[in-house]
Amino acid sequence: MPGRLVLLATSPRVAPGLLSARAWVAILEAEHVITDDVNHPLAGPLGRSEKGVEVTEPGDLDTVLRRARDSVVIRLLGADADDVIAEVVARIETLEDPPEVEVITGSWDLPGAHLLDLVAVMDRLRSPGGCPWDSEQTHTTLVEYLVEESYETVEAIETGDDAALREELGDVLLQVAFHARIAEEHEEPWSIDDVADAITEKLVRRHPHVFADHDARTPEEVEANWKLLKAQEKGRQSVTDGIPLALPSLVLAGKLLRRAAAVEGVTVGKPEARFAAQTAVAAVDGDYGELLLALVTKANADGVDPEQALRSAIRKHREAIRSAEGLS
């Protein structure tokens, strides 16, 4: 009577005991459990049990097929699962009395499970015997890369390059994993799990209309409630609090002006400058990009650093906002 061969595929990112009921039934019924990888996640737990695990040479399917002639055999599959399945199918076609073959998926990756691979690789690079360059990096030395990768991500979005966006988001994610791995070496260490916990808790807390009983029907109501909760959590007094002054000047100016709209008694810039801007906008038919480029060209011709000039104006305006709030 022909035997039965079960090819059991499992995810290395799932704890060994978290198998499907079908997989456990197959294991309990099996007379032999075989793997060619001593480091297979199930090799240790099953090897220490009454069931036991037989470890063959890598790529050895002869032993598997021989055992399956007249008994129930489990062959644990690893990363080469597709290749092994294809080879088994090809081999049994040559047998006179082939065993019944079944493929069972014992565990599946949950969404986000592949992030575990990134954490493991980052740990390997940072640990003794890993990469000399990675091991000497600090939060400070990585700042330029975080900024650069962020801008490259923005460029991919602006150009509509979806493949580039996927790659650049990976580069940004690397920076997050890198900083979290470095933090594990702090005197008071924290890890990528602490980072994930913090942002998860924040998202739940800032979305009471989803996770609690707060009512918010429109995006505007959601945004207003988010800002209110954020201000309460941070203990902020001024609308300017929490705006990083290291932002590029145009981004910084935009954020500051949007925040200033909520403060009464604040005017932006000199009246004559506002009038000149209105006239200039009309002159270029509303092409703000060309107008900004012309201003930069003019500033350069006059020996003025446009970045610093705008930052200087922003600082003055920031003080005017805080003064109107009664904070300076």
How far is it, in rounded angstroms, from Cα 77 to Cα 83? 10
Q: What pLDDT score was predicted for residue 8?
A: 96
Quote the number of domains for the chain.
3
Q: What pLDDT score was predicted for residue 258?
A: 84
Is residue 216 in a domain? Answer: no
Tell me whether strands 4-9 and 72-77 are parallel, antiparallel or unpaired.
parallel
Is residue 271 in a domain? Answer: yes
Q: Are residues 101 and 152 in the same domain?
A: no
Q: E strands along the chain, which residues? A: 4-9, 32-35, 54-55, 72-77, 100-105
Two tokens, residue 196: 């994930």
- What is the band of 201 on the pLDDT scale with cuts at 50, 70, 90? very high
Estimate the crossing angle of helix 162-183 against helix 143-159, to 10 degrees. Answer: 160
- What is the band of 1 on the pLDDT scale with cuts at 50, 70, 90? low
How far is it, in rounded angstroms, from Cα 312 to Cα 111? 47
Instruction: Compute and round to an integer the Cα radius of gyration of the chain.
Output: 31
Chosen domain end from 170, 190, 210: 190
How far is it, in rounded angstroms, from Cα 276 to Cα 58? 77
Q: Which domain holds residue 173?
A: 115-190
Q: Are residues 78 and 159 in the same domain?
A: no
Number of C-alpha atoms within 13 angstroms, CB side, residue 128? 0
Q: What pLDDT score was predicted for residue 195?
A: 96
pLDDT digits (tens, 9 = 90+) for 214-258: 877 888 887 777 777 777 777 667 778 878 888 888 888 888 888
Q: What pLDDT score was predicted for residue 2?
A: 67
Q: Quick one: 119 exposed, middle or buried, by C-beta within 10 A (0-12, 13-18, 19+)?
A: middle
Q: Are residues 17 and 80 in the same domain?
A: yes
Mean pLDDT confidence for 196-220? 87
Residue 175: phi and psi, rounded to 5, are -60, -40
**DSSP three-state, residue 55:** strand
**DSSP three-state, residue 247:** coil
Residue 7: phi and psi, rounded to 5, are -95, 110
Q: Are residues 100 and 120 in the same domain?
A: no
In 10 A of CB 13, how many CB atoms? 17
Q: Are residues 79 and 120 in the same domain?
A: no
**Mean of per-residue pLDDT scores for the chain:** 89
In 10 A of CB 72, how many CB atoms? 19
How far is it, in rounded angstroms, from Cα 170 to Cα 149? 9
Q: Are residues 96 and 41 in the same domain?
A: yes
Q: 321: Cβ–Cβ under 8 A, 6 or more apart, which residues?
A: 238, 239, 240, 256, 259, 260, 263, 266
Q: Are residues 266 and 299 in the same domain?
A: yes
Mean pLDDT confidence for 102-125? 94
Mean pLDDT confidence for 287-303? 91
Two tokens, residue 181: 């791995």
- What is the band of 302 on the pLDDT scale with cuts at 50, 70, 90? very high
Mean pLDDT confidence for 123-132? 96
**DSSP three-state, residue 237:** coil
Q: Are residues 155 and 127 in the same domain?
A: yes
pLDDT digits (tens, 9 = 90+) for 24-71: 999 999 999 999 999 999 999 998 888 899 999 999 999 999 999 889
**DSSP three-state, residue 243:** coil
Answering whether pTM is above 0.75, one says no
In 10 A of CB 74, how many CB atoms? 31
Chosen domain end from 72, 105, 138: 105
Asked if residues 214 and 275 have their Cβ atoms less than 8 Å apart, the reply is no
